């Protein structure tokens, strides 16, 4: 099983469509049915987890419930998950992370990455929307530091992509194949 996770609106559905040719789009009404969506792809299960973090119009309790469901889903399936792709918005993430830190909170992306690592699930961070980013290297260095990824592991953890424009998806696919847990 391969899981895709990330904050709401980072481009998960767009990316999964680009990689698999399958639509995983939910109805746009937030909070209604935001269960994990599973598709079959090359004999594997690919799961699009609901977006976590702040979504406008969603009460805090609903956001918390979604987060709990995601955590439970991952814990329940940890042995079967061969790879996690954490999608972040390369344009928005640095600012969001800094805002959370200023409030004294652990940014949700950081928490989530560390949660996956604790469960020893191989994890790739797809840094999406790089078409909107000027200095991609700086963003990746920033994220690596915040996520606690050692320098020597940066290249096998972060992949800059643009899902919308189909940019660098071959590199992502290659890394997915390399990193996934082979049983």
Ligand X SMILES: Nc1nc2c(ncn2[C@@H]2O[C@H](COP(=O)(O)OP(=O)(O)OP(=O)(O)O)[C@@H](O)[C@H]2O)c(=O)[nH]1
- Contacts to ligand X by CB under 6 A: 6, 8-14, 26, 51, 128-129, 131-132, 162-165
Residue 9 or 141 with smaller CB distance to ligand X: 9
Alpha-carbon distances, residue 14 vs 11, 25, 103, 129, 172 (angstroms): 5, 8, 31, 11, 14
The smaller minimum CB distance to ligand X, of residues 137 and 148, is found at 137
CA atoms 95, 75, 35, 174: torsion sign: positive
3-state secondary structure 95-144: HHHHHHHHCCCCCHHHHHHHHHHHCCCCEEEEEECHHHCCCHHHHHHHHH
Pick the closer one to ligand X by CB: 27 or 152: 27
The least distance separating ligand X from the CB of residue 50, rounded to whole angstroms, comes to 6
CB of 42 to ligand X, least distance (A): 21
* Cβ-based neighbour number of residue 19 at 10 Å: 19
Least Å distance, CB 116 to ligand X, is 17
Which residues touch 132 (CB under 8 Å, ≥6 apart)? 90, 91
Residue 24 or 116: which CB sits closer to ligand X? 24
Look up residue 45 and give its two tokens.
């299960």
Q: How far is the CB of 167 from ligand X (least distance, A)?
A: 7
Q: How near is the Cβ of 128 to ligand X at its closest, in Å?
A: 5
Whichever of 120 and 138 has its CB closer to ligand X, that residue is: 138
């Amino acid at each position: 099983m391969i899981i895709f996770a990330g904050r709401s609106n980072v481009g998960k559905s767009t990316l999964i469509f680009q990689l698999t040719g399958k639509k995983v789009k939910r109805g746009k009404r937030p909070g209604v049915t935001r269960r994990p969506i599973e598709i079959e792809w090359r004999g594997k299960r690919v799961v699009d987890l609901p977006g976590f973090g702040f979504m406008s119009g969603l009460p805090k309790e609903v956001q918390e419930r979604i987060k709990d469901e995601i955590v439970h889903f991952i814990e329940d399936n940890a042995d079967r998950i061969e790879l996690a792709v954490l999608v972040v918005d390369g344009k928005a993430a640095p600012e969001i992370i800094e805002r959370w830190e200023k409030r004294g909170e652990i940014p949700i992306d950081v928490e989530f990455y560390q949660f996956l690592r604790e469960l020893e699930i191989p994890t790739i961070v797809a840094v999406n929307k790089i078409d909107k980013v000027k200095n991609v290297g700086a963003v990746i260095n920033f994220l690596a530091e915040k996520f606690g990824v050692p320098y020597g592991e940066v290249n096998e953890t972060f992949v800059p992509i643009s899902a919308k424009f189909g940019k660098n998806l071959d590199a992502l696919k290659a890394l997915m194949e390399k990193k996934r847990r082979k049983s």
